[in-house]
Structure 1
Amino acid sequence: AMGRFSDIRGVVILFVQLLCILASIQAQRSSQKGSVSVVFEQKPVTDVVCTQRKALTERELEAMIDTWIKTGNECALGKPCRNAKNLADYKSLRAKCEGPPRRPKEENAALVAKVAAGLQAMNDLFKTLKDALEALDREYGRQFQQVWGEIEKLHATIAYTSLGAGRIQQALYHQSSQGRPIADLIQQLGPARNAEELLAFAWNSPWPEQQADVYDKVEAVIKSSQDPVLQTVLAIDIINTKNPKLEAKAKQATEQLKQLQTSTMAGDFSTVAALAARFPKHYAYLRQTLFQPAEGSKASAATLWNLSELADRMPTAEERLQTIEAIVQPLLGDNGTVVDDAEYFWPLTKLADELNRLPESEEQKADLERLRNKFATHVSHKPLDYYQKLFSQIQSLKPGFSETTA
């Protein structure tokens, strides 16, 4: 009996495989006519039937075969063995191998028409959506430009107020953020109230290309003020910017300072004295070369007599001391003391008197002593006190004294 069951099992397996092969061939022929059949399984264990199609897992096939063997053993020998369950399994197996039934041509045509209609509807919807997006983009652009315009106005306002308040770095930031011409900002500021701020703004401009334009606008404002002090400050700044774009202006500024030096040597101290009071840093720069004689010549005694009165016009004791030292500087010899030249005797007495009248504070004590020692030459051994005592005797002398003494 066991041998019979094994034979039957083998025959059934071969029969099932044969059925699946036939069903697969039929399905392939159907696919060549335009039909497509796809069967999805979760995770088939092995390829068993239907050639390339995974119709049943190994467990499902074994269960089906076991059922067929069991029902076959229950059938009478020599009689047809019909079992509804076996027939249903057989039809299910064929259905899995063949795949889903083909659609009629009419149904396919209707489906194509629906797809075409859907695509057309999508195209119409796209046009509507495209028009809506373009309108939205235009509205966004309009609002963006409006907001950006307000931001520019805000930057301009903050730049203006910052510059007026002396917050130069903040003014530069907001001016660069708004991207508007520098003239729009400069022309709003009056030179009388904001001269220092305008000059500081131009001096601190970090963009060499724009700095030249900034100085053009500032120069126009400064010139309109007709203030020689502001014009002098502007000239000093332009010379010290070292900006290649300002070379031509730097040459003009140098000539302007030479003219100021000439007028100062002649006794016109109005601009220099006001510069020292209003812009001490610029006066400190100018003082380094202001009293130097022309190259190849020596200081004039008459000029020194005039300059000796400048120290008394300085606003602070420190600047008086520094001015006297700058005036004496061209008279120093190699040993660091004034030259023993009779031509400078009378101007030195006046400078000595100015020096002795300076208040001797603790901060300036060392500087005063150092300057006093410059009067004691190694040739004549005349100390500062010697010149100072003689001053009372020559108060009536004028710049033409050198011709008289000659």
Structure 2
Amino acid sequence: TDSNNYAIDTQRPTATIVVTNDSLNIGATSLVTITFSEAVTGFDLSDLSVANAVLSNLASNDGGKTWTATLTPTAAITDATNLIVLDAGQVNDTAGNVGTGIAISNNYAIDGERPTATISIANPNLTVGQTTTVTFTFSEKVSGFNLDALSVANGSLSNLVTGDGGKTWTATLTPTANLNDPSNFITLDNRLVNDLSGNAGSGYANSNNYAINTVALTGDPLFRVTDPAPPQGAPNPPLQPIVFGRPTGVLGLPIGFPPLFEQRELGAGLPPVGSIFLRNGALAPSYIAQVFGTDRAGDSSASGFLGLGGGDGGVFGSSTLSSLFNRETHGDDSPLKASDNQSIKGPGDPVQGARGMFGAPSLGQQLQQLKDTEQRQVMDLAHALQQVGISEMQA
């Protein structure tokens, strides 16, 4: 008789994996089908290794021989080479045979990034009759790019072409005529450009600034001549000394005199007193001043002298008799020294010698005034003048 039937299963299960959409862009998913050589048990997602993506919704509708899942790529990743791998050693058929080896899916590409662009203008300063090349460089090759995606300020673009399959594009920029504008841009609307995976760009891309001056000059050129401006901070010219000549003009009173350096001429034909001190040399202008000094005793008494100054001592030089007026008041009996060192008794010296210059009326006029006010001082001065050779004075 025949035995009961028995089944023999000595084959290990194998599998194939197919990714339906092998080019995944932003937001895309794909169906993945895992087909075994026979029904299997114990199969789950932990048996699968997925590159740059995740699988979900694993299920079988035929008892375990065919399984499906959903593949979702990782966001913001671009990778052209990706695989799903099954470790068959983790799967058993219904007879308990363990699978062997590995199963690998077909390749799938992931493009999870949007295209971006930069815009460069070769000549940013455009004048009459000039054009320039504009270069558009994308982060990846794009399709559908045309001039409608561009906004051009005060100009127009033409001859848009690519020489590398869509990653780099060039065009010619022609500025608007008869215009002067220093601030201009070319703007690309990235939303109107797609990469080869279908991802649309986002936002806008702006070029570097370019200036336009296409105002044509008409008529003859205008030449304008202006005086040069003085340099800032120029040093002041050095001061130059003023050399005065011999004074000229009409003399005035000793106190209220006309311009300071006028010629002094003494009345009554008397030569300038400078001849007294220059030992008969060339005559030099000399000056007569009346000086008063207040007594230190505080009793409001005063003393005065006729002073002789000038000669060859310079504009403010002093004469031989200047020592009569350079002494402090020591009292009524202090001796006065003349040029020959002889003492002259007098009522006292004024506090400060006379070195200013005054107008010079006649000697007789000055002596008459002194005689009316201070007789004693006139006598002392007459005595001093006699010592240096003057033998006659009008009193």
- What TM bracket, shorter-length normalisation? under 0.3
Task: Tell me which of the two structures has the higher relative contact order, counting C-alpha pairs closer than 8 angstroms and 6 or more residues apart.
Answer: 2
- Computing the radius of gyration from Cα coordinates, the structure with the larger value is 2
User: TM-score, normalized by length of structure 1?
Assistant: 0.27
User: TM-score, normalized by length of structure 2?
Assistant: 0.27
Instruction: Indicate the structure with greater strand content.
Output: 2
